[in-house]
Amino acid sequence: MFKNETGVSEFLLLGITNDPGQQQILFWAFLCMYLVTLTGNTLILLAISSDPRLHTPMYFFLANLSLVDICFTTNLIPRLLASHVAGTRTISYTHCLTQMYFLISFANVDTFLLAAMALDRFVAICYPLQYCTIITPQLCGGLAAIVWVCSGLISLVHTLLMSRLTFCSLLPEISHFYCDAYLLMKLACSDTRVNQRVFLGAVVLFVAPCILIVVSYVRITIAVLQIPSAKGRHKAFSTCSSHLSVVTLFYGTVLGIYIRPPDSFSTQDTVATIMYTVVTPMLNPFIYSLRNKDMKETMTRFLNSGLKSS
């Protein structure tokens, strides 16, 4: 898929630990979290598609978020589990860049979807009478298409630039359990200044949706505080609580790790990345299903109908 101009055919992923006992524990932990992620997000997709009451813009974006969480973890975890079973830590050059491409692409989709969901909540609370005319199905579909296409193109630029780098070793060692772009740049012998400038632009692009989310919630808070009744304020805030929890969990882990120069990235950050690559996609279905009344009722009804039919 990507042209290899480096002479490198494989990379060595050092993983999280070299201790066999810890590796065994991590294998079962990752397997369980992956299965929970698949099950939870698939149930959300099925619940939203089966209940006409959930055919609204907010749940449309939630369905996209569940889909990208499935794709995000599937890009990383099965390969990690397979390497543990096979007893090998090497990954081919093409597989490494392909994994990096989808990782960057799905991460960008995540950020843009969270911003779109914040915009949806902003219009619903601040302009409730105009909501149906502003947030139309055509707008939601168009936004989703733009998000997926643009994220893929952005990731393609990063990956093509990475494919032009040369490396100092025939078997470069990556201090991670997946092909991280920052660490690949640190291993390169060739000039990475263009790559670093592009990644600086990527950081700005990554932070921009976060700023939009913050501004939206500042406006939402101001509007909600003007509601005279405590019950009305609680109801308004409750419609945002699930989304705000996911935003905090996602951006809290990602910004703390990657908003820094590539040279400052350390092996200790490997454990921290597990939070946003594995734990966050696993927790998202629980956050939305347990803190959202409509979703909870639909999930319960869907599971009960499934048990009865079986």
Q: CB neighbours of 40 closer than 8 A, spacing ≥ 6? A: 282, 284, 285, 286, 289
Q: Is residue 126 part of a domain?
A: yes
The chain-wide mean pLDDT, for the chain, equals 84
Query: 3-7, 201-205, 304-308: which has the highest mean pLDDT?
Result: 201-205
Q: Are 243 and 161 in contact (CB under 8 A)?
A: no
Q: In terms of residue numbers, what domain contains 40? A: 10-291
Across 20-41, average pLDDT: 90
Q: Is residue 2 part of a domain?
A: no
Q: Is residue 48 part of a domain?
A: yes
Q: Is residue 107 part of a domain?
A: yes
Q: Is residue 220 part of a domain?
A: yes
Write down the pLDDT at residue 257: 66
Across 85-110, average pLDDT: 91
10 has a pLDDT exceeding 60 = yes
pLDDT tens column, 245-280: 888 878 877 766 665 555 555 555 666 677 778 888
Q: Is residue 300 part of a domain?
A: no
Looking from the CA of 267 toward its CB, the CA atoms found within 13 Å total: 9
Across 64-73, average pLDDT: 94
CATH number at residue 244: 1.20.1070.10
What gap in Å lies between CA 83 and CA 95, rounded to an integer?
13
75 has a pLDDT exceeding 90 = yes
Q: Are 168 and 187 in contact (CB under 8 A)?
A: yes
Write down the pLDDT at residue 265: 55
pLDDT tens column, 98-128: 999 999 999 999 999 999 999 998 998 889 8
Q: Are 278 and 73 in contact (CB under 8 A)?
A: yes
Across 71-83, average pLDDT: 92
Angle at the Cα of 136 (from 233 to 52), degrees rounded to 5? Answer: 75
More confident residue, 196 or 69: 69
The domain total for the chain is 1
Q: Is residue 304 part of a domain?
A: no
Q: Are 15 and 274 in contact (CB under 8 A)?
A: no
pLDDT tens column, 132-168: 999 999 999 999 999 999 999 999 999 999 998 888 7
Across 193-197, average pLDDT: 87
309 has a pLDDT exceeding 80 = no
What percentage of residues in the chain have a pLDDT greater than 90?
32
What percentage of residues in the chain have a pLDDT greater than 70?
87
Q: Is residue 186 part of a domain?
A: yes
